[in-house]
Structure 1
Amino acid sequence: MMRHLPLFLSFLAIFCSMQAFSQGDLKELREDPNTKKLNADTTKGVQIKQINVPIPKLGLEVDYWKHWTKFGLNLNQATFSDNWKAGGVNSVAIGGTFWHKSEYNKDRFNFVSELDFRYGKVWNKDQLAKKNNDRIFWDNKLAYKFTDIWALYFSFTFESQFDVGYKYDAKGENIIDTLSSFMAPGYFTESFGLEYKPDKTFSLRFGTGTARQTLILDDRIAPPIEATKPIYGVEPGKKFKNDLAFQITANLDRNLSQNLNLKARYNLFADYKDVSDPDHRLDATLTAKVTSLVNVALTGILVYKSDESSRVQYSQALTMGIIYALPR
């Protein structure tokens, strides 16, 4: 052991000297590797400059309007040979329809404008041509929603027909009388009240303040002063009538299945002079979509107006035609 002691002490002295040198070098390298020492005080003069990065405009705008349009053509034709024993009349019937709806929604305001044009004519052999469909309907409604399903509304509606309607003799070969024409009659209706709309397919209006003007601007139809009864509610010798009434209007536009749609409108008009005898009108159309362009439609109309007839008036039609809808 004593023999190795000088060697051990030599190694110990060399190790201690190397340790002292390395610590000094490391300290020098840490503090001055050809760089400047940054003290905390020097950061007081540093300023950070804000840079605004330009963001390109995308040109996006909110469109509060929606539009729908449908127009179509119906054609029916029947031909019989001269020796056809079962009976029948050669005939051609053609009809056209145009429907448009625009709707605006922003916050609690809602505006809807709906336009419905229908016209059709039938030609039977050896008879005069007769119209079998004729309607002008334009409805406008402005509403303010105060809950999710209730709103205050104001509406304006115009109704009339395009063409002259005649009364024919039993054989349909001669005109006996003129029954209607454009603005004879024509109806303007203004209504204010409450609207109940639980979803997009159904609405119910309660028009507590409603006024309707009836005009007969065709002298062939307007009741002369010597007439014994009103025509379309207009008194003899006059062409204008104004009514104040309570009105209920129900609208339904619902898809019963993927290719089957039911559209209906019911209107009750009760004159405040005699609320016990209101006018009623129901328009209903059941449409079955055959292809993207071809459909079959069953249309029915029920009307009761005591100043026109003591019985219910009705009209029914079954048609197949081409309908083009926008947007596709």
Structure 2
Amino acid sequence: MDKIITTALTLLLCFFSVTTTSAQEAIEISDLLSEDDDISASDISKVNSAFIVSDTLVGWDYNWVGGFNGSQAAYRNWSQGGVNTISVTASTVFNLRYRKDKFAYALTTNLKYGKAKLEGEGTRKTDDRIAVNNKFSYLFDDERWSAFGNINFATQFDEGFDYNVPDGQDPILISKFFAPAYFTQIAGIAYNPADYFTAEAGLAFKETIVSDTRLSERYGLKPGEKFRFEPGYATGLNFEKTIVSNVKLISIFETFTNLQRNIKSTDIVFSNEVIGKINDYLNTSFQFVVIYDDDFSTKAQIKQVLSVGLSFSLL
């Protein structure tokens, strides 16, 4: 656990130092773009800027972005070998933002689902996400500081399986819709010294719902239980910055510590995504996520995705 925390913090600091150096050595990329260019680039940036409420915003602002990524590989009499595959992922993000005087509100709804078909292996899920996040903020006289309240929800659409089983055995069900589902509420203080960095800390409540009792123990509930309530405290670091022309880095480090458990059981999410804009419709991205949650596993969960696809504005 200590090694995971140390490694995550080291990586996060490395990302910050690299981007800061890049910004010092070159003219700010945002300064090179006209206001119209910045708006036309929103297919990518707005997907990952839901909680950034501009200090120039008055009233409401909203956007709705869709995305579609796919890949295909086919082999016939190929000496190096290979497996025929087709992979498709669809996503959509809706953002709503509001600001009046010292009050700000941000909503983001993030939906994503992907499938892959492997010859001889059938179809398997590659991505699955339902997330709805709300943030209420009240700015202090020094607007770098604010009080905030978050209300968040997360689950998935479809069943998930562990395919690492002996030959001849069926894959093991490990998740499904509302198994698990998470509700979190956080109230605390945020520090925003620059438009690309925010630090937050506060008291938190977390509710875990497991609608299928076969999975209760897998997510830290007692046998047969469907609901667990956890009081605790949460922290968050959010970094989002254009590091070179048309390339943006989004890095998020979040923790949740249950006040009724040892601090070594702190949940950690360290998410990084580098997004490159090819043109108004095409983009490429690299995502690397590390999660530690000892309710599910005492080992780190790791996700790595490299993709190229379409991005288009719906609203």
TM-score range, shorter chain: 0.7 to 0.9
CA contact (8 A) 2:66 2:312 kept: yes
8 Å CA contact 2:187, 2:204 repeated in 1 = yes
1:131 and 2:125 equivalent?
yes
Q: Match for 2:197: what amino acid?
A: F
SS of the residue 1:306 aligns to: coil
Partners of 2:67 and 2:167 in 1: how far apart? 29
Shift of 1:272: 0.6
The DSSP-based 3-state class of the residue aligned with 1:231 is helix
Q: Given that residues 66 and 314 in structure 2 are in contact (C-alpha distance below 8 angstroms), is that contact kept between their aligned partners in structure 1?
A: no
Q: After superposition, where does 1:10-25 map in structure 2 within 5 Å?
A: none
Residue 291 of structure 1: CA displacement?
1.3
**C-alpha distance in 2, partners of 1:172/1:114?**
42
- 1:128–1:174 Cα contact (<8 Å) kept: no
Sequence identity percentage:
27
Q: How has the CA–CA distance of structure 1 residues 71 and 316 changed in structure 2, closer, same or farther, with 3 Å as cutoff?
A: same
Does residue 85 of structure 1 match 2:79? yes
Q: Conserved in 2, the CA contact under 8 Å of 1:217 and 1:239?
A: yes
1:248 is matched with which residue? 235
Q: 1:152 aligns with which of 147, 151, 160?
A: 147
CA apart distance, 1:293: 0.5
Which of the residues 266, 283, 301 maps onto 2:271? 283
Three-state SS of the structure 2 residue aligned to 1:274 is coil
Q: Which residue of 1 aligns with 2:197?
A: 202
1:183 to 168, 173, 178: 178
Structure 1 pair 119–270 and aligned structure 2 pair: CA distance change class (3 A): same
Match of 2:288 in 1: 300
What displacement does 1:173 show?
7.7
Counterpart of 1:267 in structure 2: which amino acid?
Answer: E
When normalised by structure 2's length, the TM-score is 0.77
- Distance (Å, rounded) in 1 between the aligned partners of 2:122 and 2:166: 10
Shift of 1:325: 3.3
Q: How many residues align?
A: 257
One-letter code aligned to 2:95:
K
Match of residue 265 from structure 1: 252
Provide the TM-score with structure 1 as the length reference: 0.74
SS at match of 1:175: coil
Cα shift readout 1:191-227 (whole Å, capped 9, x = no counterpart): 11101112332222101x21000000024423xxxxx
The 8 Å contact of residues 220 and 295 in structure 2, kept in 1 or not, is answered as yes
Backbone CA RMSD of aligned residues: 1.9
Pick closer, same or farther for the CA change 1:64–1:275 going to 2, 3 Å. Answer: farther
Misfit runs of 4+, over 4 Å: 169-174
Q: Secondary structure at the match of 2:220?
A: coil
Q: Please state if 1:142 is matched with 2:107.
A: no
Contact 1:215/1:239 (<8 A) preserved:
yes
Question: Partner letter of residue 295 of structure 1?
Answer: N
Matched, 1:100 2:94: yes
Q: CA deviation at 1:136?
A: 1.2
1:257 Cα shift?
2.8
Tell me the CA shift for residue 87 of structure 1.
Answer: 1.6
Task: Supply the AA of the counterpart residue of 1:92.
Answer: I
Conserved 8 A contact 2:201-2:234: yes
Per the TM alignment, residue 253 of structure 1 is displaced from its structure 2 partner at its CA by 2.5
Q: CA deviation at 1:174?
A: 5.8
Output the CA distance in 1 between the equivalents of 2:64 and 2:169: 39
Going from structure 1 to structure 2, the CA distance change for 1:171 and 1:129 (only over 3 Å counts) comes to farther
Partner deviation per Cα, 1:281-307 (whole Å, 9 max, x = no partner): 122211111111111110111100112
1:236-263 Cα deviation digits (max 9, x unpaired): 2211111001100222222223311112
CA pair 174-95 structure 1, distance change in 2 beyond 3 A: farther
TM-superposed deviation, 1:275? 4.7
CA distance 1:296–1:171, change in 2 (3 Å)? farther
The alignment partner of 2:171 has SS state of strand
Which structure has the bigger radius of gyration?
Answer: 1
**1:110 pairs with 2:97:** no
Point out the structure with the larger helix share: 2
SS at match of 2:122: coil
Match of 2:301 among 280, 288, 313: 313
Letter of the structure 1 residue corresponding to residue 304 of structure 2: Q
Q: Is the 8 A contact 1:167 1:175 kept in 2?
A: no
Q: Distance in 2 between matches of 1:172 and 1:137?
A: 35
Asked if residue 164 in structure 1 is aligned to residue 159 in structure 2, the reply is yes
CA shift at 1:273, angstroms?
1.5
**Given that residues 213 and 223 in structure 2 are in contact (C-alpha distance below 8 angstroms), is that contact kept between their aligned partners in structure 1?**
no
Q: Is the 8 A contact 1:127 1:171 kept in 2?
A: no
